[in-house]
């Protein structure tokens, strides 16, 4: 199978996985919404009934009741308990269920994303029979999930999770190149998170943690890109604003195995992120390597998820990016893009 066939095969497989996850999430939400509308039971009775059906053997009634109380808390007003508590209690609703898949990072699709300067250079060698020209407009999507490995350790303060994030860049409208997937980045990770309630000047440190992440594009030379990192994360909130500081350290590789030895010159040694909740809108921004590089090789990503009328489970989504490292194949190429589409989950 030649390179172009392998790319198209992987692209079709990636698209299938995304669509299955995306539609599956909508179906599950629809089932939950139908159950909520049944008039013969109170909300608490309905919750207990549904929890009992999916609970693992040995689960007590008290555990189920606590789960339903957490779910009820997640439906109360944001300002009554804080943004991060909302997310934590929403997660708590699922932790007792076996084989649980939970949202990790935002899950979205940008149906149309315009890039002002597509990076053609990595493909010159891959497409030996032609000079590929990438379209300025493409489709981008991200699927990000996590599963609990161990929860409520040390007096309910510590959880251990593993996660998997796939972000794809799909030349959907490029008929000359058979609408191929120009890049897909895979990020498996594992981390420990510690719940906290320390505060200063009205700012609360709700969580901190430590972990390991591998990121690669799954390609062979000459377009292989990958790196491994250990990281720490510190998450804070104040009112409807949540923000995080995430430093990391790249694990060194042998020179002969390193496909991108200068990647930290562009990706830096950490990122700062912030998200603000306003009614049903979420505004978020991620800054990476700007101060460290003197604003020469950094990046900024900004996004806005907004409601679509009264529909609860699908949101409109706009994302903009400028700088280096939007994808691994473009880690040393500067670009600016903006896209519009839909999100199932966002940062909050």
Question: Hey, CA dihedral for 281, 91, 215, 126, is it positive or negative?
Answer: negative
Lookup result for tokens 């909300």 = 43
How many helical (H) and strand (E) elements, i.e. helices and strands, does the chain have? Answer: 7, 13
Q: What is the DSSP string of 252-303?
A: P--GGG-S-TTHHHHHTTEEEEEEEEETTEEEEEEEESTTTTTSSS-EEEEE
Question: Hey, CA dihedral for 31, 33, 36, 39, is it positive or negative?
Answer: negative
Tokens of 113: 């994303």
**Is 269 exposed, middle or buried, given 0-12, 13-18 or 19+ CB atoms closer than 10 A?**
middle
The phi-psi region of residue 295 (left if phi > 0; otherwise alpha if psi is between -120 and 50; otherwise beta) is left
- Catalytic (active-site) positions: 214, 216
Contacts of 260 (CB under 8 A, 6+ apart): 225, 226, 227, 328, 331, 332
């Amino acid at each position: 199978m030649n390179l172009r066939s392998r790319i198209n095969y992987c692209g079709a497989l990636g698209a299938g996985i995304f669509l299955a996850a995306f539609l599956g999430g909508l179906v599950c939400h629809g089932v939950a919404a139908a159950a909520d509308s049944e008039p013969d039971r109170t909300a608490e009775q309905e919750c207990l009934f549904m929890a009992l059906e999916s609970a693992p053997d040995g689960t007590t009634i008290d555990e189920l009741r606590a789960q339903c109380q957490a779910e009820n808390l997640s439906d109360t007003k944001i300002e009554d308990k804080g943004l991060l508590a909302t997310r934590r209690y929403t997660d708590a609703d699922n932790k007792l269920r076996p084989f649980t898949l939970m949202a990790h990072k935002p899950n979205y699709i940008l149906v149309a994303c315009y890039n002002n300067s597509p990076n053609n250079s990595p493909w010159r060698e891959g497409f030996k029979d032609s000079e590929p020209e990438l379209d300025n407009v493409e489709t981008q999507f991200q699927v990000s999930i996590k599963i609990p490995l161990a929860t409520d350790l040390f007096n309910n303060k510590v959880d251990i999770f593993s996660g998997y994030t796939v972000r794809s860049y799909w030349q959907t409208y490029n008929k000359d190149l058979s609408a191929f997937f120009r890049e897909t980045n895979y990020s498996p990770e594992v981390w420990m998170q510690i719940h906290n309630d320390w505060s200063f000047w009205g700012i609360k440190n709700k969580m901190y943690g430590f972990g390991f992440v591998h990121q690669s594009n799954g390609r062979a030379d000459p377009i292989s890109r990958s790196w491994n990192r250990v990281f720490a994360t510190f998450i804070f909130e104040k009112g409807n604003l949540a923000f995080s500081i995430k430093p990391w350290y790249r694990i060194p590789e042998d020179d002969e195995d390193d496909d991108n030895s200068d990647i930290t010159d562009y990706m830096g040694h950490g990122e700062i992120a912030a998200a603000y909740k306003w009614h049903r809108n979420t505004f978020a921004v991620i800054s990476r390597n700007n101060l460290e590089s003197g604003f020469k090789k950094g990046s900024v990503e900004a996004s806005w998820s907004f409601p679509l009328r009264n529909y609860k489970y699908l949101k409109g989504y706009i994302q903009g990016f400028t700088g280096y490292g939007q994808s691994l194949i473009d880690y040393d190429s500067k670009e600016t893009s903006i896209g519009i589409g839909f999100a199932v989950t966002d940062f909050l």
